[in-house]
Structure 1
C-alpha cells in the first residue's frame, strides 16, 4: 500500500513539474492555449459549422432531439402502442403479422448495430443529400456531391449518364418496397417501412423472394449487401412527422425523411436536387418531359410545410442548399413521385 501511494505521488510530481517547466519555457503559448480553451470551448462537432449547435435558436432546439435514434436496432425496435397504431395506419395494413416475430427474423439477417451515434467534438461528418429534381441538370455538382463523407440518394436516382451533375458515389440509398432498386456492394440500403409487411418484404427480398406484392407489385428480390442494410425507425418516422412537420400531411416524403436522417447522423449537411428547376417546373433530372409535375399534388405529403421547414433550416445555417447553377430561388421540396405510397 505504501509503495502504491509513493508511486502515485511520484507520478503527480512529475506531471506537475512538466507543466511548470512548459510554462516557464514558453509561458505565452501556455497562457494562449489556456485562454483559448476558456474563451472558445470546443463545439459539439469538429466541423466549421455543426448541425447540433443549438445556440439561442428556440425553434430548432424545440424540434431537434438527438435522443431519438433514426435507425432501428433490436433494442429500439420496441414501439409504444401509440407509435405502432400510427405506423400501421399509414398504409392501412389490416392484418399485420406479429411485429416482434418479424423484427426477430429481420435481425437474424441484417446487422444489429447502433450506428452513427458517435457525435462529439472530434467528429466532422459531412453529408450530401441528393434529391431528384430537374434543377440538377447542367448544375455540374457531381464532384462536389461526391466530395462529402456520406452521399445519400433516394428511390430511383440513376447516376449513369448524369455523373457530371449528380456524381457517382452513393453510400446510402433510401427506398421503400415500391421504389426498390438494385445496389452495389458498397452502398447501404436504407429501408423506410410503412408497415410490418414492408419489413417482411425486406427479409424476403434478401432471401427467397416470396413476397411479390404489397399494395402494388414490388421487386421480389433486391441486390444489396446484407451487412450494410439499415432500417428507418418507425419511432423516428413519427418524430419527424410530429416534431418537424407538426403532423401536417399523412406522412413525410422520402426526400424529407432523408434530409432528417442526415440532420441526425451528420455534422454538416449539403442538400442538392430539391425544388423546381429555374423555370418553375417540377420533374426528375432523368425525365425528358419537364411538365410531368403532377406528383406535386398527391395530397399525401404537405409539400408547402416541408418546403418551409427546409428553408428555415437553411436560414438558420443548419443545411446548405444547392439549387442548380441557373436556379434563382427554387423551393426546398423534394420532387419525388410519392403519391403511390
Structure 2
C-alpha cells in the first residue's frame, strides 16, 4: 500500500483519495460538487435567498411561507412593481403572492398546519385553534381581505405612510401628505415615527398627534395600524403630548398587527361590540379606543405569513439570534412594507434617516429627546432598508 508520506504536502488530499478509493471516489467527489453548485444556482434564481441575506443564511435557513395560488394582480404602468421586475436583486426579494391580510377565507386547514409551528407574530404556535378560527370567521366581509378597491384598472394608487420622527417638525409637508389617495399612520410606543408620501393612501405610525402640527404632518388618515399593547401604552405615555385618541376619520381602516393573543381577542370584541372577555384586557370595550363602532369592513388584520416573509426577506436582523422571543419588525416597518406590497407609489415621512441624531425622537417632543434603540427592533437595519429602496426608486423617503 502506498505510504501517505510519499505525497507532497500541498497535494496530500488528492493523494489520499486516489490511493484509497481510486477513480470512483474522484468521480463521486466531482459529481457531488457539481450537484451542490446546481442546487445553489437554482436556490438563488428562485429567489429563496438574496445576496444581501447570504450571511444570515449561515445562521438559519429560510422558512417557507404561504403563497397565493392565483395570478398576480394587474397593475398600472406607474406601479413600483415594474421597477422591481427590472432589477434582478429586487425581484429575488419581493413576492407579491404572499397574502398581506388574513380573514375568514384564509383560515383553512393547510394554513393552520403550516403556521401552527411558528410562534406569534409569525404564526399560531400554542394558540387555541377555536379562538383563532372564531376571530377570523368574523372577518367575513370582502373588505376585510383587501385594503382598498381600485377605481379603475389603470388608476395609479399613491400612498403616504406617516410616522412620528422628529425630522417632520418644521417640514411643512402636511398638505403634500393629505393630497395622497391614502394615508397610513400607525402606533408604536418605542419606535421613531415614520411617514410616506406617494399615493392617494396615507399610513400613520406611532402616536398620531395632529393639533398644532397640521402644517408638518397633515390630518388625513386612511389606515391606522397598531398592536393592542402599543396602542394602550401610547394612550398612556403620550397623553400629555396630545395623543388622546386614535384617528377616527369616517371610513378609516383599522389594521391590527397580531403580535399577541390579545390582538385576536380585542379584534373579535371590536367586531361583536362587546367587552373583552378575557385577561389582560378583560372588561375593556373597543369603543374606549375607537370612540364609536366601526363597520365590519373597516377592520383588517395582518397575516402572520406576511410578517414572517418581510422579516426573512427584508429585516433578518442578527438580533433574531439573541432576542428571538421578542424581535419583530417595528410597526412602522410593517406599515411601510404593507404599503409597498399594495400601493403603486409609496412615500415615507418621519422614518429614520442617516442623520437621525440631528432630530428629536418625535416631532411633538417639547425638548430634545434622542432616538433610543431597543432589542425588539433593529431600527438601524430598517433605516438602511429605506435608504436602499429609496436609491432604487421603489419608494420616496423624506430626508433633510
Q: State the secondary structure of the residue aligned to 1:265.
A: coil
Query: Please, which of 193, 197, 209 is the counterpart of residue 275 of structure 2?
Result: 209
Q: 1:104 to 1:291 in 2, by over 3 A?
A: closer
Query: Please, which of 141, 145, 148 is the counterpart of residue 177 of structure 2?
Result: 145
Q: Which moved more, 1:75-84 or 1:308-317?
A: 75-84
Deviations 1:18-75 (A, max 9, x none): xxxxxxxxxxxxxxxxxxxxxxxxx95242x634433441221111111112122222
Aligned to 1:293: 371
Q: 1:217 to 1:82 in 2, by over 3 A?
A: farther
Aligned to 1:185: 250
- Structure 2 alignment gaps of length 5 or more: 1-73, 188-206, 232-244, 321-326
The question of whether the paired residues in 2 share the 8 Å contact of 1:46 and 1:120 is answered with: no
Q: State the secondary structure of the residue aligned to 2:80.
A: coil
Q: In structure 1, what is the Cα distance between the partners aligned to 2:154 and 2:133?
A: 39
Q: 1:89 to 1:128 in 2, by over 3 A?
A: closer
The question of whether the paired residues in 2 share the 8 Å contact of 1:51 and 1:266 is answered with: no
Q: In structure 2, what is the Cα distance between the partners aligned to 1:243 and 1:215?
A: 34
Q: 1:216 to 1:60 in 2, by over 3 A?
A: farther
Deviations 1:162-189 (A, max 9, x none): 1000001000111111233532333111
Q: 1:122 to 1:80 in 2, by over 3 A?
A: same
Aligned to 2:337: 260
Q: 1:228 to 1:86 in 2, by over 3 A?
A: same
Q: In structure 2, what is the Cα distance between the partners aligned to 1:305 and 1:81?
A: 32
Q: 2:224 aligned with 1:173, yes or no?
A: yes
Q: 1:124 to 1:92 in 2, by over 3 A?
A: closer
Q: In structure 2, what is the Cα distance between the partners aligned to 1:305 and 1:239?
A: 16
Q: Which moved more, 1:49-58 or 1:157-166?
A: 49-58
Q: 2:144 aligned with 1:66, yes or no?
A: no
Q: State the secondary structure of the residue aligned to 1:152.
A: strand
Q: Which moved more, 1:129-138 or 1:156-165?
A: 156-165
Alpha-carbon shift at residue 290 of structure 1 (Å): 2.1
Deviations 1:220-275 (A, max 9, x none): 54325223111111111111111212365421000110110110111111110112
The question of whether the paired residues in 1 share the 8 Å contact of 2:161 and 2:348 is answered with: yes
Q: 1:312 to 1:120 in 2, by over 3 A?
A: farther
**Alignment RMSD, CA only?**
3.2
Q: 2:320 aligned with 1:244, yes or no?
A: no
Q: 2:119 aligned with 1:101, yes or no?
A: no
Q: In structure 2, what is the Cα distance between the partners aligned to 1:169 and 1:261?
A: 18
Q: In structure 2, what is the Cα distance between the partners aligned to 1:217 and 1:252?
A: 30
- Structure 1 alignment gaps of length 5 or more: 1-42, 328-341
Q: Which moved more, 1:56-65 or 1:174-183?
A: 174-183
Q: State the secondary structure of the residue aligned to 1:86.
A: coil
Q: 1:119 to 1:303 in 2, by over 3 A?
A: farther
Deviations 1:156-211 (A, max 9, x none): 21222210000010001111112335323331111111134311111224411225
Using the size of structure 1 for normalisation, the TM-score is: 0.71
Query: Please, which of 37, 45, 50 is the counterpart of residue 76 of structure 2?
Result: 45
The question of whether the paired residues in 2 share the 8 Å contact of 1:152 and 1:173 is answered with: yes
Q: State the secondary structure of the residue aligned to 1:168.
A: coil
Q: State the secondary structure of the residue aligned to 2:160.
A: strand
Using the size of structure 2 for normalisation, the TM-score is: 0.61
Q: In structure 2, what is the Cα distance between the partners aligned to 1:84 and 1:92?
A: 5
Q: In structure 1, what is the Cα distance between the partners aligned to 2:284 and 2:357?
A: 34
Q: 2:226 aligned with 1:195, yes or no?
A: no
Q: 1:143 to 1:309 in 2, by over 3 A?
A: same
The question of whether the paired residues in 2 share the 8 Å contact of 1:137 and 1:165 is answered with: yes
Aligned to 1:284: 362
Q: Which moved more, 1:176-185 or 1:274-283?
A: 274-283
Aligned residues: 279
